[in-house]
Each structure stands twice: as structure tokens, then as C-alpha cells.
Structure 1
Amino acid sequence: MTPMHALRALTTAGLALALTSATACSVGGGTTAESTGSGAGRTVVVATHDSWAMSKDVLKQFTAKTGYTVKIEPNGDAGQLTNKLVLTKGSPIADMTYGIDNTFASRAVDEGILADYTPKDLPGSVADYALPDAREAARLTPVDFGDVCVNVDDTWFAKHHLTPPASLDDLTRPAYKDLFVTPGASSSSPGLAFLLATVARYGDAWPSYWTRLMGNGTKITSGWSDAYEVDFTAGGGGGDRPIVLSYASSPPFTIPKGATKPTTSALLDTCFRQVEYAGVLAGAKNPEGARAFIDFMEQKSFQEALPENMYVFPVDRQATLPADWARYAEVAPKPFTVAPAEVAKNRDTWLREWSDVTTR
């Protein structure tokens, strides 16, 4: 399992308006524009989540093409990032943002922190990931996506002669009692995505589903790393739970050395799709550079670097995937979705109700 999977499970204290201090790092041509004396106008400051990771070679291509250098400002996960941008919108901390996802997009647009911008030359498949609201789509450009799904330890199930679960309903069956572990919805991004999957699947009856889930011995942890790396039987920590909430992209990272097949699999009928976006911040000091970098993020060199650097799928379906991804990192054919406007309207209420059910 990769360090980036752990980063993508950083706590979402931002859901309660908690903020983290930003630690800046500069990438691109090896130096910041300021350090070369070329002036702030040649630097593009990107406010992003802590899971940002991109090859310096790829970013050097951007610098070579445009003359701009990229400076990254991490700000927690998607919830914390959105909250900080809202609280600083009168004096934006960056020129653009990357990492606001479809669970926070409506809030970002409603709060007026973004300027209109849509790249002219977008891959045709990008339209499939655009936000449904025209006003939101004009301000946030899809960059990548990932499916948060239940994963199972196939080796454990084969050893115990037990058929693995295949659906959300299955997780409540007696055969899987005390076998499932998931990060909490109020403390992790994938945990929130799983809650939204159950909202999409069960509608107003989702609290009843969670009551059955908890009654079947589901364990809740604060974050993904605890669930996967400690409790999951295939996570390397000697855990005792062979069912875990993770990602559709997780199985390729469980291929043993010298083997060709993962020891785990993702249950593609349990997935919630997260889409991540980039946008120009209103009042940015360098909007031209921000627009140039968003254009670059849609180009094939950046799109093809996403899987191995940030462990997400590119929105350009023509981008070539790594061999293991192409074979084993399947995407959900019909992922669960909840309209961003519905998430924005109900998030706090759903989280309160979820907390009530899971702490009884």
C-alpha cells in the first residue's frame, strides 16, 4: 500500500471548520520564481490538499512551456482546504486551487471564492465528470477521479472457505459479523464518501442501514490508515478484519513481489465516485498563470502522471494507464453519486445523524 493512500485519508476536521497551518513547498524547475529573481508574476501558487504529489519532471515541462514555476501550498484535506479558502477569500492565499471535490464543490462556488474559467482544449471525456450545475462547471474543471469502495482480502476468504461479500446489503449479513472496518464519516474523506454511498443507495432509510451495519460488528476508526494498515488482514499490520473501506485503485498495490495478481479486490457495486477539480481563485495575483496551469493539468503528460503520483484516475480516457492499473484497477461501472448541491445542503445533518447511530 502506498503512502499516498494514507495521505488521502487525512482527517476531515475541516468539516467542523478546523483548519491546519499550511506548509509550503515549491516544485517545477527546481526553484521558485522568487529565488531566481524573476518576480512573483512568474510563480503560480496552488492551494491544494495534503495528498498533492507530482513528478518534478512533469512540472518542469510546464515551466519550459510557459515560463511559470509552480508553488504548492498544502492545506489539509478537501474539507479543510475549502474552509480555508472561504475564510481567506478577501485576501486569497493562492492563485488557484486543486483538490476541491464533488462533496465540497457547491460550497466553494456559493461562497464566491472562484473565478470563471474553462480551458478551451479539453479532452472529450472531461464532460462526463463536469459538475451538473452550469455555474459550478464554469468555475471548476475536472482533473481526476477515484472510486471509494469496500475492499476484501481474497486470500483470507479463500483460506476460510467463505464467499466474500459483493454488495452493501451483504455487509449486514451474519456471515460477515465482526469482519468489516471503515474510517468514520466525520473524521476522514473516504469515510464521508462511504456515508454518501449509503445515502445514495438507501435514501432516507440510510440510518436504518447503519444501525444494522453497527449491529453486525462494524468497526469504525478515525482514518483510513488505521482501518487499512492496522485492522485489515491484508494491510501488513496483522489485523483481523478482511473487509475494509478503501479505493478501487488499492488492489494493484497488493501484488506480492514476484507475483502477477493482487491478493485483494474492490467490490465495484459499493463505490462512491469522488471527482477532484481545479479552479482560479477570485482576486488571484496571477490569474494568467493559474489558467495556464489548469490548461496543463488537462494535457496528456499531466493526466498520464496522475495514477503513479496521486493514485487517482485521469479524466482523459485516452491517457495511458500503468500496466497494473490497466489490468487490476477497475472503475465502478455504476458508482453511487449524490448531487453536490444535496451534499452541501445536508452534509452537517447527515453527519450528526451518522454520529448518533454509530455511537449508540
Structure 2
Amino acid sequence: MLDLTRTTLAVAFTLAGGAYAVAQDLPRLTVYTYDSFASEWGPGPALKAGFEAQCTCTIDFLGTDDAIAVLRRVQLEGAATEADVVVGLDTAIAGEARATGLFAEHGLDLSGLVLPSEWTDAQFVPFDYGYFAYVYNTEALPEPPTSFEELIALPDDFKIVVQDPRSSTPGLGHLLWIEAAYGERAPEIWAGLAPHILTMTRGWSEAYNLFLSGEADMVLSYTTSPAYHAVAEDDDRFAYAEFSEGHLPQVEVAGILASSDQQDLARDFLAYLTSPEGQAEIPTTNWMYPVVDLGDALPEAFTAQAQPETILALDEDAVTANSRLWIEQALAAIR
């Protein structure tokens, strides 16, 4: 009986070792992204399972605080980076990412995607989008401001929470939203907002938690944030304040590193990310609009409040050339 047990264990270890060896031999795709994307409640795990089921490969998501931090990491590592793909950059920093020369062309046909404007970028693939907006509780604030200037005119005890444009992609998006709406008047708008800014947090989570705890009347977030409360919490009290100036979209993108030795696999992953199967994971994990028409599979909460009527835009070259100056001007205006 003892010999049989030893034999059984030996066979089991041999089989396990063989399976481990096979797993080690599979092509491996390393994806840099932000923490919430890779987290257990983000889209990363489901995308990993779905893609691995069809690729006979292994995919690893490595998270960093924010998309800006992801870009900084890739810039620091350069061509020596272990990343094959970066997921989670956005249109505010795509120009800076492009200028590094670290990204390859994706070679995909994206003509069928549904986005705020036609997509023609040869290097970056969009996978979701939303619009920057102030979110509020409809019970606590029955009549929200409908423009930046109306917000500025409110008593100083009306408070908002925003994010730092130097460390947060929503914070940078907020700055570009004001720039797109007001141009040379942007510093004036920032100065008017200053008495209303409760604080400028490093990231989105800190700001949103302050809002939810009742510290502020509104928080800089996305038009899709109310859908989270409706779907995940069965709470329909939240909405976004539509501003007459219009709203600036944030399109999140993914790109292939030119230094990757898994170019075909990386391209296959980006194709999966933008497929109906991959996109089905986005709305209720990343809480943004998908870039394909999901039909009835898109929860009604995402259409309960219409997307903004007026959509703003900024030229990528202008953003890349001027964002540092605009940040300096905004920070100076609120000090």
C-alpha cells in the first residue's frame, strides 16, 4: 500500500510538473495599466479569462496608480520595458505618449467603432469613453448649476472637489475641459472656481469619497458615474450636471510597445478588447461607455440621462505643446 501511494504521488507530481512546464512555455503578454483596471472588480480579470480561452497564451496585468503614472513608467523604462501593451492612456496624454517613439502602429480596422468623433489614430486603439462632468446627489441638490459661470456665481460655501492635473487623468481632463470651453479666459474661470474648491486631491478615489461623505456638493467625475450607483448600488439619486458650454470627452486607449517581441499577440489582444465580447465587460467594471453598440446588453442606467448635447474638442498637438503651461496658469489662479 505504501509503494502504491508513493507511485501515485510520483505520477501526480510528474503530471503537475508537466502542466507547469507547458504553462511556462505559453506565449506571455504583459500589459501595463492602472490599478482599478487590473483589480478584481475591474475589467482585467474577465478580459484575461476571455482572451486566454482563445489565444493559448498567458496575459499578465501590472497595475500602477493612474494612467499618468503608467506613461511615466514606460518613459522611464524606454525600449527595455517588459510591457507589450499599455492599456488606459487617454486622449489627453496620447500626444505625449506618441512623441516618445515607443509605440507601434496597431494595424487594426476600427471603422466600425462608436465614438464621439471619427477615429483615425494609427497607434492607439480606443476601448471606452466618457465625458468629464460634475456629479451631484439630486436629493441634496435639486437645482444644480448649468454652467461654469453659474457655478462661480453661487455663494462661496457651495463646494466642489476636483483632482490635481499633475497626477490624475480626470484632473487633467478637467483642466482641458475648461480650456476647450473658454480658451484665453480659462485662468479667469479657475480664479472664479477657487473659493468653491474644497480641495484638489491626488486622485479620483479620494475626491469621490469626499463627495460621498457629504463634504462637497459636487465632484469632478464622469457622465457615466451615476450609472455605477444605479447598477451596483440600486441608487438612482445621482446625476451629472450638464453644462451649456459643452463637455469634453475622455477616450481611453491602448497601444502596443514597439519593443515587444509579441507583436501579433498584442494586436490580437487589442482586437479582442474592442470586440463585442471584450466590450461587454467594460460598462459595469470600468463604468464607461463601450466603443461598440452593445444593444440591449448595455444597462439602461447608461442611457437614463442622455449624453451631453454639446461636445467640445481640443487639438492633440495643442494639448501636448501647452498642457504644462495651462497647468501652471490654473494652479496660479487658485492659489
**Which residue in 1 is equivalent to 2:70?**
81
Selected match of 1:277 from 239, 250, 253? 253
8 Å contact 1:150–1:271 — kept in the other structure?
no
**Which residue in 1 is equivalent to 2:12?**
none
**Which residue in 1 is equivalent to 2:276?**
300
8 Å contact 1:307–1:321 — kept in the other structure?
no
Structure 2 residue matching 1:155: 3-state secondary structure: coil
Per-residue CA deviation, residues 205-243 of structure 1 (Å, 9 max, x unaligned), is 1001111121x433223133333222x2xx1x2x24222
Cα 1:354–1:39 shift into 2, 3 Å? same
The within-5 A match list for 1:213-228 is: 213-214=193-194, 216-222=195-201, 223-228=203-208
The within-5 A match list for 1:1-360 is: 35-39=20-24, 42-52=27-37, 53-54=42-43, 56-120=45-109, 123-125=112-114, 128=117, 130=119, 137-158=121-142, 163-175=143-155, 177-214=157-194, 216-222=195-201, 223-230=203-210, 232=211, 235=212, 237=213, 239-255=214-230, 262-269=236-243, 271-318=247-294, 320-328=296-304, 330-359=306-335
AA paired with 1:117? H
Per-residue CA deviation, residues 138-158 of structure 1 (Å, 9 max, x unaligned), is 111111112120122210124
8 Å contact 2:116–2:249 — kept in the other structure?
no
| CA–CA distance in structure 2, aligned partners of residues 253 and 121 of structure 1 | 27
**Which residue in 2 is equivalent to 1:15?**
none
| CA–CA distance in structure 1, aligned partners of residues 316 and 295 of structure 2 | 27
User: If the length of structure 2 is used for normalisation, what is the TM-score?
Assistant: 0.83
| CA–CA distance in structure 2, aligned partners of residues 258 and 43 of structure 1 | 37
Identity of aligned residues (%): 23
| CA–CA distance in structure 2, aligned partners of residues 36 and 358 of structure 1 | 58
Deviation of the 1:107 alpha carbon: 1.3
Task: Flag the structure with larger Rg.
Answer: 2
Deviation of the 1:41 alpha carbon: 5.5
| CA–CA distance in structure 1, aligned partners of residues 99 and 137 of structure 2 | 42
AA paired with 2:197? T
User: If the length of structure 1 is used for normalisation, what is the TM-score?
Assistant: 0.78
Cα 1:122–1:85 shift into 2, 3 Å? same
Per-residue CA deviation, residues 93-133 of structure 1 (Å, 9 max, x unaligned), is 211111111111111111101111222465343693525xx
Q: Which moved more, 1:38-47 or 1:273-282?
A: 38-47
Per-residue CA deviation, residues 276-314 of structure 1 (Å, 9 max, x unaligned), is 111210110211110110111111011111011111111
AA paired with 2:125? T
AA paired with 1:191? G
Per-residue CA deviation, residues 171-219 of structure 1 (Å, 9 max, x unaligned), is 11135743323223234221221111110111011001111121x4332
Query: Unmatched 5+ residue regions in structure 1?
Result: 1-33, 132-136
| CA–CA distance in structure 2, aligned partners of residues 59 and 258 of structure 1 | 26
Query: Unmatched 5+ residue regions in structure 2?
Result: 1-18
**Which residue in 1 is equivalent to 2:14?**
none
| CA–CA distance in structure 1, aligned partners of residues 325 and 231 of structure 2 | 43
| CA–CA distance in structure 1, aligned partners of residues 325 and 205 of structure 2 | 26
Q: CA RMSD in A?
A: 2.6
Aligned length: 310
Cα 1:321–1:199 shift into 2, 3 Å? farther
| CA–CA distance in structure 1, aligned partners of residues 219 and 70 of structure 2 | 26
Deviation of the 1:329 alpha carbon: 5.5
| CA–CA distance in structure 2, aligned partners of residues 54 and 339 of structure 1 | 30
Deviation of the 1:320 alpha carbon: 4.6
